[in-house]
Amino acid sequence: MTARSTLLKIALVATTIAALPALAQDVPAAVQARQGQFQIMALNIGVVGNMARGNVDYDAEAAQAAADNLVAISMLDQQFHWPEGTDNMAIDGTRAMPAIWENLPDVIAKWDAFGAAAQGLAEVAGTGLEPMRAAVGAVGGTCGACHDAYRQPM
């Protein structure tokens, strides 16, 4: 009895583990692409953000490169990253809320605001720590503005 239930548990765990990579692969390519895009954004904001926080020394060249990357991402046409039916009510593996598709003009305006803030950062990122810090704050504000309304908490 005990041996059998132990076997059953092992089988269950094994199945679960086997199912995990399959689950990751089940996330649509468009969702993976947009999540990758946000990871690239986070990585580059981290470069200027750590300088702004005083965690690392200000480096004009690195700050400029990171800012330019953010501008580049802001210029990617987003239409292929957000197909209908890829919200968190429809599929697992995303925190994108259905409200995105119900308020597309607002979402696009918020994405454009990120682009404008990134542009603002790129104009000053290489000129000194203080102007860069202010511009990083503005970029952060545009991240929050969208996540406030359109991303599910953890």
Residue ranges binding another protein (CB under 8 A): 38, 42-43, 45-46, 49, 52-53, 88-89, 95, 97, 136-137, 140-141, 143-145, 147-149, 151-154
Q: Dihedral of the CA atoms 17, 18, 24, 26 (nearest 10)?
A: -140
Residue nearer to another protein on the CB measure, 11 or 71 = 71
- Smallest distance, Å, CB 7 to another protein? 26
Element (H, E) at 118: helix 104-124
104: Cα separation from own chain's centroid: 18
Residue nearer to another protein on the CB measure, 60 or 138 = 138
Q: How many Cβ atoms are within 10 Å of 74's Cβ, its own excluded?
A: 21
- Smallest distance, Å, CB 69 to another protein? 13
